[in-house]
A and B are shown apart, each in its own frame.
Chain A
Amino acid sequence: MDLLLQQLLTGVASASGLFLVASGLTIIFGVTRIVNFAHGSLYMLGAYLAVSLIDLFGGGHLGFWGGVILAMLAVGLIGALFEITVLRRIYQAPELFQLLATFGLVLVVQDVTLLIWGPQDLLGPRAPGLTGATQIFGLRVPVYDLFLIAFAPLVLLVLWLLFNRTRWGILIRAATQDQQMVTALGVNQKWLFTGVFFLGAALAGLGGAIQLPKGDANLHMDLQLIAAVFVVVVVGGMGSILGAYLAALLISLIRVLLITNAQLTFGGIAAWQMELVSMFLVMALVLIARPWGLLGRREVASDQRSGTPEPRLRPADATLRIAGGLLLVVLLGLPWIVGSYFLSVATEALIFVLFAASLQFLMGVGGIISFGHAAYFGLGAYGVGLAVRHWGMSMEVALLAAPLLAGVGALVFGWFCVRLSGVYLAMLTLAFAQIAWSIAFQWIDLTGGDNGIIGIWPPDWASSVTNFYYLAGAICVIGLLCLRHLAFSPFGYTLRAGRDSPLRADALGIDVRQHRWFAFVLAGVFAGIAGGLFAYLKGSVSPETLSISLSIDALVMVLLGGVQTLTGPIFGGALYSVLKNELISLTNYWRSILGLIIVLLVVLFPQGLAGAAESLRGRLGTSR
Chain B
Amino acid sequence: MSRVLEVRGLAKAFGGVRAVRGVDLDLQAGEMLALIGPNGAGKSTCFNLINGQLQPDNGSVRFLGRDVVGLPPRRIWRLGVGRTFQVAATFASMSARENVQMAFLSHHRRLRRLVGYAGDAYKQEACDLLERVEMRALADRAAGVLAYGDVKRLELAMALAHGPRLLLMDEPTAGMAPQERRSLMTLTSEIVRKEGIAVLFTEHDMDAVFSHADRIAVLDRGEKIADGRPEEVRRDSRVQASYLGSFGAQS
Contacts and interface: CB of A to CB of B under 8 A. Distances in A.
Interface of A: 303-305, 308-313, 315, 485-486, 488-494, 496-497, 499-501, 503-511, 515, 518
Nearest to A313: B93
A491 B113 contact: yes
A494 B105 contact: yes
B73 A506 contact: yes
5 contacts: A304-B87, A309-B142, A490-B105, A493-B94, A500-B93
Contact of B115 (A304, A489, A506): A489
A310 B93 contact: yes
A503 B89 CA distance: 7
Contact of B118 (A304, A489, A503, A507): A489
B111 interface: yes
Chain A CB count within 10 A is highest, among B98, B106, B111, for B111
A509 B80 CA distance: 10
Nearest to A310: B93
Contacts of B95: 312
A603 to B, nearest CB: 27
A501 B84 CA distance: 13
A490 B116 contact: yes
A506 B52 CA distance: 11
Interface residues on B, range: 35 or more
Contacts of B142: 309, 312
A486 B118 contact: no
Contacts of B11: none
A527 B163 CA distance: 41
Interface string B70-113: 00111101100001010101111111001001110111001111
A503 B155 CA distance: 12
B133 interface: no
Contacts of A500: 90-94
Interface of A is mostly: helix
A492 B94 contact: no
A510 B91 CA distance: 13
A510 B92 contact: no
Chain A CB count within 10 A is highest, among B72, B89, B158, for B89
Given A312-B142, A491-B111, A508-B77, A496 B158 contact: no
Contact of B114 (A313, A491, A505): A491
Contacts of A511: 74
Contacts of B113: 489-491
Interface in B117-167: 117-119, 121, 142, 144, 158, 162
Contacts of A312: 93-95, 142
Contacts of A499: 93
A494 B121 CA distance: 13
B70 to A, nearest CB: 15
B91 A311 contact: no
Contact of B105 (A309, A310, A315, A493): A493
B93 A494 contact: no
A490 B110 contact: yes
B102 A497 contact: yes
Contacts of B118: 488-490, 492-493
Given A500-B91, A511-B74, 12 more contacts: A304-B87, A488-B118, A490-B114, A493-B102, A494-B102, A501-B92, A503-B89, A504-B158, A506-B74, A508-B103, A509-B74, A509-B162
Contacts of B93: 309-313, 496, 499-500
Contacts of B144: 308-309
Nearest to A512: B74
A496 B91 contact: yes
Contacts of B89: 303, 501, 503-504, 507
A303 B103 CA distance: 19
A559 B119 CA distance: 27
Contact of A494 (B77, B112, B116): B112
Contacts of A310: 92-93
A507 B74 contact: yes
B112 A515 contact: yes
B28 to A, nearest CB: 23
Give 4 nearest A-B pairs by CB, closest first: A309-B92, A309-B144, A504-B89, A493-B118
A510 B158 CA distance: 13
A316 B169 CA distance: 38
Contact of B111 (A303, A494, A501, A507): A494
A509 B78 CA distance: 6
A425 to B, nearest CB: 20
A10 B107 CA distance: 60
A485 B112 CA distance: 14
A313 B91 CA distance: 13
Nearest to A504: B89
Contacts of A313: 93
Contacts of B98: 493
Contacts of A493: 94, 98, 101-102, 105, 118
Interface string B49-71: 00100000000000000000000
A489 B114 contact: yes
A408 to B, nearest CB: 19
Contacts of B106: 494, 508-510
A509 B72 CA distance: 9
Contacts of B92: 305, 309-310, 500-501
Contacts of B78: 509
A501 B102 contact: no
Contacts of A505: 91
Contacts of B72: 506
A496 B75 CA distance: 20
Nearest to B75: A509
A392 B116 CA distance: 39
A308 B92 CA distance: 9
A28 to B, nearest CB: 32
Nearest to A564: B93
A494 B101 CA distance: 11
Contacts of A309: 92-93, 142, 144
A491 B102 CA distance: 10
A499 B105 CA distance: 17
Contacts of A304: 87
A24 to B, nearest CB: 35
A171 B221 CA distance: 37
A505 B92 CA distance: 12
B238 to A, nearest CB: 34
Contacts of A503: 85, 89
A586 to B, nearest CB: 41
Contacts of B115: 485, 489
Nearest to A522: B114
A315 B105 CA distance: 19
A486 B114 contact: yes
B52 to A, nearest CB: 9
A156 to B, nearest CB: 31
Contacts of A488: 117-119
A120 to B, nearest CB: 53
B60 to A, nearest CB: 22
B199 to A, nearest CB: 16
A23 B5 CA distance: 53
A501 B78 CA distance: 18
B117 A489 contact: yes
Contacts of B110: 490
A55 B207 CA distance: 82
Contact of A518 (B73, B87, B112): B112
A421 B24 CA distance: 37
B75 to A, nearest CB: 8
B94 A509 contact: no
B229 to A, nearest CB: 30
